[in-house]
Structure 1
């Protein structure tokens, strides 16, 4: 089975890991952010009381996989945030950092794996243990449970994939029907000390209503979950390849 839920909010900011002085955002939550969101909902602690950088919740995420769809057109909002300079206050009390936010985002998350059993009752009852947010602590997330579905293998010669697609599985994209795609590199997973262990190159549609038309859905593992044709991202594994 696969669990499906939507996340929305007023703002989201998923900082690109390769940015430096400014905080540029992905238009969708990268897999690492979704992992943290799932752990927050079911209440898996990161054990930061022992070391501030720990992310022990990753132990509970290994063996699961997800898919991510963008449900609302991407609207950008850029502003500067005045932060306290705690590292070196002698150089200045404040640091003014430019932030790029996604305005009124809506995403659909698909989850498959052993964590479903723990996650499902929280989604059904509309509750969570730790506050879920969209990338930053001041971007609160609303969660709406869609349901639990049996993924069905797509056997057609063509499919309109609504989720982001890993580039390395070599999808045969029909650009004429798709009307445009974007490509980016996202962090796939981390270790329990918050170190990036694997990143992933992905395609996502320029037009969310169109999706991405592919001519080899069966080859790339396309499945029908509810009414959505999606492709799973690689499973979170304890020893990622590559």
Structure 2
């Protein structure tokens, strides 16, 4: 049996930017794994920037990323607002409009599996509501509200034919594979799914590597059955937690 830390996160707005788009601020429905690791790091007080000399990532952040798997349940409907701001043009006199998006009323459940030291620090911060840095969702003006923190036992299971309501990571890169590594089937007629491509960060031989992978996102309580999934998986594992039926599982990545 393993222990997971589970907690809900919501806010009025979220702004998890798509880094591949530079001409405007296009936002995702969910945070990437590295964004969640940064969220956790802010809660427990990991240092960054001027404290890490010339390194982009401080060693403790790399350790946290390597030691941690996360699961995300997207509990709300993806609804975005678009607005424009005027930016000064560097090429000519005047201003140019810049499109911005915000995700409205996001609500997530995070499932966290990590090393003992990080788990203790995170759990102490959550249960005592003592966060080193203010939690936010993508941008500092998108403040996050954290609720319902609890611990639960988890047991690894075979994901074949299991029903999931959490984000599922497709481990095959579309650049190199013609078929996806996982196939989902709606568990009900009203089940809905969003697919996003995120930059997935992982640690290999002490260095952070990156790859673009598909994230399959059931929305607002939707459930999907795993029809097919590759047997050998590098990043993901599936677990059953307390109170969950034998037919269900959570994807951790």
Settle same-fold status: TM greater than 0.5: yes
Q: Over the residues paired in the alignment, what is the CA RMSD in angstroms?
A: 3.1
Counterparts in 2 of 1:55 and 1:218: CA distance versus 1, 3 Å: closer
Provide, for residues 176-215 of structure 1, a one-character-per-residue CA deviation record: whole Å limited to 9, x for no partner: 6474433221122278xxx86333222112x432222224
- Residue among 39, 61, 77 paired with 2:81: 77
- Residue among 44, 55, 72 paired with 1:68: 72
- Residues 1:223 and 2:239 are matched in the alignment: yes
Stretches of structure 1 that go unaligned for 5 or more consecutive residues are 234-242
- What is aligned with 1:240? none
Quote the offset at 1:145 in angstroms: 3.7
- What is aligned with 2:144? 141
TM-score, normalised with respect to structure 2 = 0.77
- Residues 1:210 and 2:213 are matched in the alignment: no
User: How far apart, in 2, do the equivalents of 1:106 and 1:34 lie?
Assistant: 14
Contact 1:126/1:144 (CA < 8 Å) preserved in 2? no
- What is aligned with 1:150? 153
Provide, for residues 104-138 of structure 1, a one-character-per-residue CA deviation record: whole Å limited to 9, x for no partner: 11111111111212211001111200111100111
User: How far apart, in 1, do the equivalents of 2:167 and 2:159 lie?
Assistant: 19
Query: Which runs of structure 2 are paired with 1:77-116 in the superposition (5 Å)?
Result: 77-82=81-86, 91=92, 96-114=97-115, 115-116=118-119
Of Structure 1 and Structure 2, the greater strand share is in: 2
Contact 2:26/2:101 (CA < 8 Å) preserved in 1? yes
Question: Could you say what secondary structure the match of 2:184 adopts?
Answer: coil
Counterparts in 2 of 1:174 and 1:151: CA distance versus 1, 3 Å: same
How many aligned positions are there?
Answer: 227
Provide, for residues 9-62 of structure 1, a one-character-per-residue CA deviation record: whole Å limited to 9, x for no partner: 110011011112111111111112101100100010113366698332522412
- Residues 1:58 and 2:71 are matched in the alignment: no
Provide, for residues 125-180 of structure 1, a one-character-per-residue CA deviation record: whole Å limited to 9, x for no partner: 11200111100111111111431111123468643211110112733422464744
Question: Could you say what secondary structure the match of 2:49 adopts?
Answer: coil
- What is aligned with 1:189? 201
Counterparts in 2 of 1:142 and 1:39: CA distance versus 1, 3 Å: same
TM-score, normalised with respect to structure 1 = 0.80
Question: Could you say what secondary structure the match of 2:9 adopts?
Answer: strand
Counterparts in 2 of 1:92 and 1:165: CA distance versus 1, 3 Å: farther
* Greater displacement, 154-163 / 125-134: 154-163
Counterparts in 2 of 1:161 and 1:176: CA distance versus 1, 3 Å: closer
User: How far apart, in 2, do the equivalents of 1:60 and 1:96 lie?
Assistant: 41
- Residue among 159, 180, 185 paired with 1:174: 185
